[in-house]
Structure 1
Amino acid sequence: MPSLRMMPKVMTLTDAAAARVATLIAQKPGVKALKIGIKKGGCAGMEYTMTWADQIGKFDEVIEDKGAIVLIDPAAIMYLLGTEMDFKTDKLSSQFVFNNPNQKSACGCGESVNLEPAPAVPEGFAPADR
């Protein structure tokens, strides 16, 4: 039987993103996590979704990083592999930013993206934290 090697997490969080997620969850009674997904829409084809979760779904990927809990919708995992989530603040806005290696393009306004699934997982790799 071949030995199994651990895969990297689906998503990582910067210190700024983790701190912001943890702060927001603490302000929302009954909320356990921030759930990230994707949906079809926008001029580039896909949009990131973010919702509050009061429970962890059976197939959700759980990312616990720096005190924050983020869930990844199972349908979004292949589109988010290797993504880093950041939180940026400038003079005009504060927002979460996804640095996603699977993103091929984005619309001019930055609201939608063109994502391709990550390549198939090589044989001998196992999901992390499972």
Structure 2
Amino acid sequence: MAIQITDAAANHIRKTMAKKENAIGLRLGVKTSGCSGFAYTVDYADAVDPEDNVYEQHGVKLVVDKKSLPFLEGMEIDYIREGLNQRFEFRNPNVTASCGCGESFSV
């Protein structure tokens, strides 16, 4: 599988999708942004386009568009809780640098 989803991330995705009526999965992508060049995009997937790649793991579908896949290949998605803070953590082996604020990266 090109992208791995941890149990913690899958549990969080399932819980949030249950609140979204038409969601079939999580859509993950990359856009040009920030001081390092790229940023992740995360949204609900309501449909799968012909150009999309779909990965299913732990009962969760992850939908990735064709253009974003080379930037995300080999990535692991985790969900971290630290005190009151909660967030997705993207462990991406393609990243060569990231900005100080952590919002963007370069490959």
Give yes or no for TM over 0.5.
Answer: yes
Corresponding residue for residue 85 of structure 2: 93
Q: Work out the CA distance in 2 between the residues paired with 1:15 and 1:66.
A: 7
Instruction: Tell me the amino acid that sits aligned with residue 30 of structure 1.
Output: N
Tell me what 1:40 maps to: 32
Question: CA–CA distance in 1 between the matches of 2:83 and 2:102?
Answer: 17
Q: Percent identity?
A: 36
Aligned with residue 41 of structure 2, among 23, 32, 49 = 49
Matched residue count: 107
**Secondary structure at 2:30 match in 1:** strand
Rounded to whole Å, the distance in 2 between the matches of 1:10 and 1:59 is 16
CA root-mean-square deviation: 1.0
Superimposed CA distance per residue, residues 3-25 of structure 1 (whole angstroms, 9 cap, x where no aligned partner): xxxxxx22010110111111111
Q: How does 1:69-80 map to 2 (within 5 A)?
A: 69-80=61-72
Once the two structures are TM-superposed, the CA of residue 92 in structure 1 deviates from its matched residue by 4.3
Contact 1:19 1:67 in 2 (8 A): no
In 2, the alpha carbon distance for the partners of 1:110 and 1:23 equals 26
> 3-state SS of the aligned residue for 2:96?
strand
- Structure number, greater radius of gyration: 1
Report whether the alignment pairs 1:104 with 2:96.
yes
TM-score (norm 2): 0.95
Q: One-letter code of the match for 1:64?
A: E
More strand by share: 2
Structure 1 residue ranges, 4+ long, deviating more than 6 angstroms after superposition: none
Q: Distance in 2 between matches of 1:92 and 1:23?
A: 18
Structure 1 residue matching 2:17: 3-state secondary structure: helix
Is there any run of 5+ residues in structure 1 with no aligned partner, and where? 1-8, 116-130
